[in-house]
Structure 1
Amino acid sequence: MVAESAFGEGERGITTDFWRGHRVFVTGATGIVGSWLVKALLAQGASVVALVRDADPQSELYRSGDIHRVSVVSGALEDFWTLERAINEYETDTVFHLAAQPLVGMAQRFPLSTFESNIRGTYHLLEACRLHRDRVQRVVIASSDKAYGEQPTLPYTEGMPLQGRGPYEVSKSCADLIAQAYHHTYGLPVAIARCGNVYGGGDLNWSRLVPETIRAFLRRQPPVIRSDGTYVRDYIYVKDAVRAYMYLAECLEDERVRGQAFNFSLESPMTVLDMVRVIQRLMGCEDIQPIIQNQAKGEIRNQYLSAARARTLLGWRPRYSLEEGLQETIRWYREFLGDGTA
């Protein structure tokens, strides 16, 4: 599918030469989205600098060998001078800020580390960009549907207030608002991406629904659902999320995009149990029934997004249906896990 964008061109990002020669700094490069973003940027001829806190040989960034094709800056978001050095010494013109503590459960257990990485890390990164405003031309910040908190009506739209209440949601609300402040106060060329639940190969956080379910079925074991199975979520395939980030960066020369947030979604919300059933069918495991624990705490029951603004202003649309994305994801985990015993 090729979308016509609001700029009178065809699809952007993955299909153009825009990125050739650009110097791009990616935080969170070992995460699920970061690994695939680095891969796409390298394929487009960009020079990539990756912030890596912990070397993880199982990360897609390492397994693919892409780690040997990027410049690596070792350090954490909490260290301002590491970020400043990465932007200054490598003469970065584009920044993708994906690094964060991404787990709701961990934020519940120990909020301090989540606030440090997700809030302090974001303003450190934005301040380093502000200091080198003559060099940095575009900044894309990864927010989340969690930034909206609980709302009286759904789907989430970009005009809704950001009102997270739990530690993780608050961290995303704060980071999102800080990014907006750096644009409106200092003119920093920032755009914000709010995605639903990103899934795909390379996600090694086994507490998440999709990788845990696939691994369980590969082992011929019942997957465990922490909630009652009726929580509603949005899901977006990682390659569509990568295209969304690249779209935003390319479009930041347009005044209608700067300082704005955009939702990216398949716009097909479904319950947790329905997602498990789709994976179950695709893997031929209808005889294995999930275990429903009904023990979820501190999570919003229903969350899903409208992507109307991204469709109309950016010309963005997902390339992958849910089943297409899941089929690729299942293949990745089959290769990664082998017989499922890993």
Structure 2
Amino acid sequence: MRSCFNRVFENRRVLVTGHTGFKGGWLTLWLSALGAEVHGFALPPSSKPNLFVAAGLADRLVSNHFGDIRDYDDLLDYMQRVRPEIIFHLAAQPLVRPSYRDPKGTYETNVMGTVNLLEAVRHCDSVRVCQVITSDKCYENREWEYGYRENDPMGGYDPYSSSKGCTELVVSAYRHSFFQEVSISQHGVSLASSRAGNVIGGGDWSEDRIIPDCVRALVKRATIQVRNPQAIRPWQHVLEPLSGYLWLAARQWEHPGSFEGGWNFGPVGTGNVDVQGIVELVIAAWGSGNWQTVES
């Protein structure tokens, strides 16, 4: 395992923000298996059960700090103590419907949290690679049939999607203002962003996620409530985009100045299935169950 990704992560100090979440938890496990010295900064797990406890992540970390990404002083102090060489920034408010209930908190976490992280990077001279993970929802939704491209406009009609578009603009501004590729020999930081969505896999107990929602209903022998059955999504297993993040970070490390900017990570076209199809696959695998459409 340690020989994967050209051994870039072996014995490197790696900071994962949001390591108590779904993708952050799996990324922490993978980095630990690669021989990295993994440090985590995040809020405590938001659900019971959760991947952080189920996978014993506390035992995989060199240090574990429960903190709020909106607290700049706490974040900066932690980063200056652990002196990370590589950063994966996943700490975020990751759901659409909660963003309607708390739009202010969503923007503070997703946008200003990223500003805090990048400001801390400016004051932490150990950092060589910083990768900000956003979402495929960062693009202006034009209902195109083809997948969005990295140079398509940012946008978002709901607070969550808009906050991810704003986050991308923040990353772009910091890259052009403080971490330019042409002057990387002076500042030393390769800054990139990664965009993926509709991720599924074990260890996800979050609300408003289609497969966890299906399983919770089936366990109770209740009808699965489906909001947008005809919506087509590019589903991908959690390890697929994480592999992309790791390969991108490895390239950032090996070729500074060549792999900055925004990067999409998604499945081939055959991974595009509507929500109804996913629900019916889950029911078939379970052996029984039913579903109904409800208002969003």
Is the TM-score greater than 0.5? yes
Conserved? CA contact 1:233–1:270, under 8 Å: yes
Conserved? CA contact 2:2–2:10, under 8 Å: no
**Unmatched tracts of structure 2, length 5 or more:** 180-188
Residue deviations 1:274-317 (CA, integer Å, cap 9, x gap): 111122222222xx220111x12xxxxxxxxxxxxxxxxxxxxx
Name which of 254, 272, 281 aligns with 2:275.
272
Partner residue, 1:256: 258
- State the alpha-carbon separation in 1 of the partners of residues 245 and 2 from structure 2: 11
Moved more, 15-24 or 43-52: 15-24
- The structure-2 alpha-carbon separation of the partners of 1:77 and 1:89, relative to structure 1 and needing over 3 Å to count, comes to same
SS of the residue corresponding to residue 135 of structure 1 reads: coil
- State the alpha-carbon separation in 2 of the partners of residues 215 and 278 from structure 1: 15
- State the alpha-carbon separation in 2 of the partners of residues 212 and 262 from structure 1: 27
Counting only pairs closer than 5 Å after superposition, residues 44-55 of structure 1 correspond to structure 2 as: 44-55=34-45
Partner residue, 2:184: none
Partner residue, 2:201: 200
- State the alpha-carbon separation in 2 of the partners of residues 241 and 161 from structure 1: 22
Partner residue, 2:137: 146
- State the alpha-carbon separation in 1 of the partners of residues 20 and 59 from structure 2: 13
Aligned residue type for 2:54:
R
Conserved? CA contact 1:123–1:178, under 8 Å: yes
Partner residue, 1:330: none
Aligned residue type for 1:54:
P
Q: CA deviation at 1:14?
A: 4.5
- State the alpha-carbon separation in 2 of the partners of residues 278 and 40 from structure 1: 28
Q: CA deviation at 1:67?
A: 0.7
- The structure-2 alpha-carbon separation of the partners of 1:84 and 1:252, relative to structure 1 and needing over 3 Å to count, comes to same
Q: How many residues in Structure 1 have an aligned counterpart in Structure 2?
A: 281
Name which of 47, 53, 63 aligns with 1:62.
53
Conserved? CA contact 1:144–1:172, under 8 Å: yes
Conserved? CA contact 1:35–1:60, under 8 Å: yes
Identity of aligned pairs, percent? 31
Name which of 90, 97, 105 aligns with 1:98.
90
Residue deviations 1:221-260 (CA, integer Å, cap 9, x gap): 3211023x11111111111122121111111143331123
- The structure-2 alpha-carbon separation of the partners of 1:88 and 1:67, relative to structure 1 and needing over 3 Å to count, comes to same
Name which of 64, 73, 78 aligns with 2:65.
73
Aligned residue type for 1:146:
K
Counting only pairs closer than 5 Å after superposition, residues 134-173 of structure 1 correspond to structure 2 as: 134-151=125-142, 153=144, 154-173=146-165
Aligned residue type for 2:209:
R
Partner residue, 1:36: 26
Q: CA deviation at 1:151?
A: 1.8
- The structure-2 alpha-carbon separation of the partners of 1:13 and 1:102, relative to structure 1 and needing over 3 Å to count, comes to farther
- State the alpha-carbon separation in 1 of the partners of residues 142 and 94 from structure 2: 21
Counting only pairs closer than 5 Å after superposition, residues 1-342 of structure 1 correspond to structure 2 as: 14=4, 16-55=6-45, 58-70=49-61, 71-132=63-124, 134-151=125-142, 153=144, 154-187=146-179, 188-227=189-228, 229-253=229-253, 254=255, 255-267=257-269, 268-285=271-288, 288-293=289-294, 295-296=295-296
Residue deviations 1:98-142 (CA, integer Å, cap 9, x gap): 01111100111220110110011001001101222x310101111
User: How does the TM-score come out when normalised to structure 2?
Assistant: 0.89
Conserved? CA contact 2:18–2:90, under 8 Å: yes
Aligned residue type for 1:68:
D
Moved more, 253-262 or 88-97: 253-262
Higher RCO structure (Cα 8 Å, ≥6 apart): 1
Residue deviations 1:175-202 (CA, integer Å, cap 9, x gap): 1111122112211411111112111111
Conserved? CA contact 2:18–2:42, under 8 Å: yes
SS of the residue corresponding to residue 176 of structure 2 reads: helix
- State the alpha-carbon separation in 2 of the partners of residues 137 and 289 from structure 1: 51
- The structure-2 alpha-carbon separation of the partners of 1:257 and 1:69, relative to structure 1 and needing over 3 Å to count, comes to same
Aligned residue type for 2:235:
Y
Conserved? CA contact 1:158–1:263, under 8 Å: no
- State the alpha-carbon separation in 2 of the partners of residues 53 and 15 from structure 1: 29
- State the alpha-carbon separation in 1 of the partners of residues 293 and 279 from structure 2: 11
**Unmatched tracts of structure 1, length 5 or more:** 1-10, 297-342
